[in-house]
């Protein structure tokens, strides 16, 4: 069992006392400030338990343990307080920042017992997570193997989608594990679709209405296969919406549209159709042109990211067409800014600053929209 304990107190004499009474029972690291404690977590973690005094200069105990919660959420957090700090301790517990608090002075017996309780709590948390992870990975692996054996055509499709989904997720700084699993299992419902129909669909051949309905039904089949697996509920929902258009069209029918559609579903919709166009023999550039011509089908943010990937733009940027009002510092001109007579005002490659935007706002005949390289950091808050 992990019995590594981090003790943080600005009084070195107290830290020396901890080491004397706890030596041999725990693997101890001591620090005399919250900032040093955070560095220790990065350098020497994971810790089973972190104990902090409340009154410390610069960063008090509640602030420190709240930061610990962010960087090491599984670590059990304990705070030592004086009587005058009791309300702060109660507030910290109510906010979920700490597991337990101890009042000063604290006996060696109580302190030791509390550290052991914290170490046991850490063991339970990590054991449960390990069990869930192994169960989840086993279930996913089994489903992927099942698809590979029963329907190699669909498995090949999901493998290609996975490769592109990883690249798009990296550009958009999205949670990778959900994207990977979603793409890998997006075609799992195809185990109920006849192979002949899948082969026709993936070659972009025409399907009869009955064949198309049989194929499209696999999204809902996949959803129901996955919905009962813990931690896959959101992925299952997204797979059920993988044929939903951004404008609300497509299946399943209903009023859901735009950003209300799960982001994973919006991603799957774009990469599914893009891969289908590629497999029909079209070039990446021509496939992208076709996607862009389908007004309302796709999330423009994700479509712009695929364009960025095809054009091999610098990591962390996507192409967007924006209005003059939407220009923001950090964006880079992907094309020249011209007026309506064709006169070049600002050349391609310039980075937008507040001053440059103010200058541009003074013109009333600029050609809009303007193609820009937009940093993902600027783009994400209002988009994905």
Which of 96, 23, 14 has its CA nearest to residue 56?
A: 14
Other Cβ atoms closer than 10 A to 307: 18
Mean pLDDT over 337-359 rounds to 79
- Tokens linked to 15: 């830290």
138 sits in which H/E element: helix 108-150
Residues pairing with 8 in the sheet: 31, 52
State pLDDT tens for residues 102-129.
887 788 888 888 898 888 888 888 876 6
> What pLDDT is attached to residue 145?
80
β 317-322/370-375 pair status: antiparallel
| CB neighbour list of residue 266: distance below 8 Å, 6 or more residues apart | 246, 298, 299, 302
- Tokens linked to 224: 């129901």
Which residue ranges form the domains of the chain, and what is each CATH number?
4-128 (3.40.50.2300), 151-310 (1.10.3210.10), 317-382 (3.90.105)
pLDDT above 80: residue 301: yes
pLDDT above 80: residue 226: yes
> What pLDDT is attached to residue 91?
66
| CB neighbour list of residue 362: distance below 8 Å, 6 or more residues apart | none
CA angle 344, 345, 349 (to 5 degrees): 90
Distance CA 64, CA 234 (A): 33
Mean pLDDT over 237-262 rounds to 90
- Tokens 């608090």 locate to 101
pLDDT above 80: residue 223: yes
* Residue 20 · residue 48 · CB < 8 Å: no
The predicted model scores a pTM of 0.56
Other Cβ atoms closer than 10 A to 343: 11
Average the pLDDT over each of 89-98, 109-118, 235-244 and give the range with the smallest value. Answer: 89-98
Mean pLDDT over 142-160 rounds to 80
- Tokens linked to 243: 């044929």
When pLDDT is cut at 50, 70 and 90, the band that residue 290 belongs to is very high
State pLDDT tens for residues 200-219.
887 777 888 899 998 899 99
pLDDT above 60: residue 160: yes
Which of 54, 49, 37 has its CA nearest to residue 103?
A: 54
Mean pLDDT over 22-50 rounds to 88
* Residue 54 · residue 85 · CB < 8 Å: yes
pLDDT above 50: residue 383: no
Crossing angle for the helix pair 195-202 and 263-279, nearest 10 degrees?
A: 80
Q: How far is CA 133 from the centre of its chain?
A: 17
CA angle 314, 235, 192 (to 5 degrees): 115
Cis-peptide, bond into residue 252, ω within 30° of zero: yes
β 100-103/337-338 pair status: unpaired
When pLDDT is cut at 50, 70 and 90, the band that residue 367 belongs to is confident
Distance CA 323, CA 92 (A): 46
Which of 104, 115, 89 has its CA nearest to residue 28?
A: 115
Burial of 346 (C-beta count, 10 Å sphere; 0-12/13-18/19+): middle
């Amino acid at each position: 069992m992990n019995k590594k304990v981090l003790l943080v107190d600005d009084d070195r004499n107290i830290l020396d006392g901890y080491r004397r009474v706890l030596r041999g029972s725990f693997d101890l690291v001591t620090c005399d400030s919250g900032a040093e404690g955070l560095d220790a977590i990065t350098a020497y973690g994971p810790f089973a338990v972190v104990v902090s005094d409340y009154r410390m200069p610069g960063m008090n105990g509640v602030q420190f343990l709240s930061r610990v919660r962010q960087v090491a959420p599984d670590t059990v957090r304990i705070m030592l307080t004086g009587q005058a700090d009791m309300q702060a301790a109660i507030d910290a517990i109510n906010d979920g920042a700490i597991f337990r608090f101890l009042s000063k002075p604290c006996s060696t017996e109580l302190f030791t017992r509390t550290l052991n309780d914290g170490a046991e709590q850490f063991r339970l948390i990590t054991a449960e997570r390990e069990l869930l992870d192994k169960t989840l990975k086993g279930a996913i692996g089994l489903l992927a193997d099942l698809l590979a054996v029963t329907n190699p055509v669909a498995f090949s499709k999901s493998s290609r989608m996975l490769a592109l989904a990883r690249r798009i997720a990296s550009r958009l700084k999205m949670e990778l594990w959900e994207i990977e699993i979603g793409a890998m299992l997006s075609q799992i419902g195809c185990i109920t679709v006849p192979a002949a129909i899948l082969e026709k669909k993936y070659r972009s051949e025409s399907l009869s209405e009955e064949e198309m309905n049989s194929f499209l039904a696999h999204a809902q089949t996949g959803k129901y296969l996955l919905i009962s697996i813990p931690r896959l509920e959101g992925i299952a929902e997204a797979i059920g919406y993988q044929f939903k258009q951004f404008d609300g069209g497509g299946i399943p029918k209903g009023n859901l549209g735009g950003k209300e559609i799960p982001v994973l579903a919006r991603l799957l919709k774009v990469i599914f159709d893009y891969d289908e166009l590629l497999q029909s023999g079209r070039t990446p550039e021509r496939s992208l042109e076709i996607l862009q011509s389908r007004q309302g089908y796709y999330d423009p943010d994700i479509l712009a990211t695929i364009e960025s990937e095809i054009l091999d733009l610098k990591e962390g940027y996507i192409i967007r067409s924006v209005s003059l009002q939407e220009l923001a510092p950090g964006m880079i001109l992907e094309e020249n800014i011209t007026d309506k007579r064709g006169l070049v005002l600002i050349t391609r490659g310039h980075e937008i600053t507040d001053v440059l935007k103010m200058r541009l706002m003074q013109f009333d005949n600029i050609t809009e929209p303007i193609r820009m390289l937009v940093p993902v950091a600027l783009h994400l808050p209002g988009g994905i």
